[in-house]
Amino acid sequence: MKRALITGITGQDGSYLAELLLEKDYKVYGVRRRTSTPNYDNVEHIKEQIEWIDGDLGDLASLIEAVRISQPDEVYNLAAQSFVATSWPQPIATAQMTALGVTNMLEAVRIIKPDARFYQASSSEMYGKVVETPQKENTPFYPRSPYGVSKVYGHWITVNYRESFNMFACSGILFNHESPRRGLEFVTRKVTNAVARIKLGLQDELRMGNLDAKRDWGFAGDYVKAMWLMLQQDQPDDYVISTGETHTVEELLEIAFSYVDLNWKDFVVIDQKFVRPAEVDLLLGDCSKAKVKLGWNLEVDFKMLVTMMVEEDLKRLKVIQVTI
């Protein structure tokens, strides 16, 4: 039985990855941090199958202990301060978790179990300002937020540990990926949740930022398969994971509202509070390397993704209404 250690297991990706690894008969260890209110929403259904280890990405001792206890074959480092907008008001906390936290996790592996395979959750936010499109593994980085800058550090320290210590360390440069488990502040879920609430008469407007931003949006369930595939190869490497399609935030609004027969223009208000100090205008990924070398492919396209999220939000809110 293979053993995997996942940080960020209570988040969107961690929950899908844990499901995938459990299906593959892995013993799954999850690092959870202390929170004043327990947060198992995404993993409630598999909670009993996970071996929980208390730890924090900012605390090297706890990570060393997590690796010692789990003796993992594979480590997936998904934990981070992951919301770009929060990285301006909290730049130092973001750097501590999203940048230095990667070194903490790599050090814990290097010290305790250097032959473990390591996955780092890198991001298309590293590309930032458009240098070339579509963006691929060797496109130069030009991050536009403290989050993006932190992810560039996390990416290069992963490459550096591979080259310095011969560790099997991979960096997955994942473009935006979403699901019904996405946090409520990210734009897709903010929109699908609002559409469901408006449809059910629980809300009458939606305040948004920049509607012109373009993103390459995929489904998280497809993307965690790529993480696993990267660690099954003969050699460690870095891969772009994307859909190869880009859409504006306005298109997202259009699809989500029209799915419930509403016109987004009747409800959306632009609020400067949601406009960022520096924006990433266009993300569009070229994942041909992953397709050829990993044999990775998508199952869910953009429209399927948005409608799936609206449907799930409607279902969830209707249950709450009935219960109340």
Write the DSSP symbol of residue 240: E
Which residues between 22 and 41 bind ligand NDP (CB under 6 A)?
31, 33, 35, 39
Neighbours of 164 (CB within 10 A): 11
Q: Rounded to the nearest whole angstrom, what is the least distance from the CB of residue 282 to ligand NDP in the complex?
A: 16
Write the DSSP symbol of residue 73: S
Catalytic option among 123, 145, 150, 242: 123
Candidates 24, 314, 319, 65; CA nearest to 198 is 314
238 binds, among ligand GDR, ligand NDP, none (CB under 5 to 8 A by kind): none
When binding is defined by CB under 6 A, the residue of 3, 4, 5, 13 that contacts ligand NDP is 13
Does 313 bind ligand NDP (CB under 6 A)? Our answer is no
When binding is defined by CB under 6 A, the residue of 78, 195, 224, 249 that contacts ligand NDP is 78
Pairing of strands 206-208, 218-219: unpaired
Q: Rounded to the nearest whole angstrom, what is the least distance from the CB of residue 313 to ligand NDP in the complex?
A: 16
Candidates 299, 323, 314; CA nearest to 259 is 314
Q: What does the alpha-carbon distance between residue 291 and residue 116 come to, in Å, rounded to a whole number?
A: 25
Catalytic option among 147, 161, 223, 259: 147
Q: Rounded to the nearest whole angstrom, what is the least distance from the CB of residue 211 to ligand NDP in the complex?
A: 19
* Residue position matching structure tokens 């960096």: 171
Which residues between 163 and 182 bind ligand NDP (CB under 6 A)?
174, 176-177
84 binds, among ligand GDR, ligand NDP, none (CB under 5 to 8 A by kind): ligand GDR
Q: What does the alpha-carbon distance between residue 263 and residue 216 come to, in Å, rounded to a whole number?
A: 23
Residue nearest to ligand NDP (CB): 11
Query: In the complex with ligand GDR, which residue's Cβ is closer, 52 or 186?
Result: 186
* Cβ 240 vs Cβ 291: under 8 Å: no
97 binds, among ligand NDP, ligand GDR, none (CB under 5 to 8 A by kind): ligand NDP
* C-alpha dihedral sign at 14, 19, 23, 25: positive
| Total chain residues near ligand NDP (CB under 6 A) | 27
The two three-digit tokens of residue 257, written as one number = 């509202």
- Is residue 119 flagged as an active site residue? no
Q: Rounded to the nearest whole angstrom, what is the least distance from the CB of residue 87 to ligand NDP in the complex?
A: 10
When binding is defined by CB under 6 A, the residue of 79, 149, 255, 314 that contacts ligand NDP is 79
Pairing of strands 214-215, 74-77: unpaired
Footprint on this chain of ligand GDR (rule: CB under 6 A): 82, 84-85, 123-125, 175-176, 185-187, 190, 208-210, 213, 215, 249, 274, 276, 279-280
Query: In the complex with ligand GDR, which residue's Cβ is closer, 124 or 171?
Result: 124
Write the DSSP symbol of residue 290: I
For residue 60, CA distances in Å to 101, 108, 134 come to 8, 7, 37
Distance of CA 200 to the CA centre of its chain: 29
Query: In the complex with ligand GDR, which residue's Cβ is closer, 63 or 121?
Result: 121
276 binds, among ligand GDR, ligand NDP, none (CB under 5 to 8 A by kind): ligand GDR
Residue 138, by phi and psi: left (phi above 0), alpha (psi -120 to 50) or beta? Answer: alpha
Q: What φ, ψ does residue 181 adopt, rounded to 5°?
A: -95, 5
- Is residue 125 flagged as an active site residue? yes
Q: Rounded to the nearest whole angstrom, what is the least distance from the CB of residue 289 to ligand NDP in the complex?
A: 17
287 residue type, one letter: C
- What does the radius of gyration of the chain's CA atoms come to, in whole angstroms? 19
Residues identified as active-site: 123, 125, 147
Q: Which residues bind ligand NDP (CB under 6 A)?
A: 7-14, 31, 33, 35, 39, 56-58, 78-82, 97, 121, 123, 174, 176-177, 183
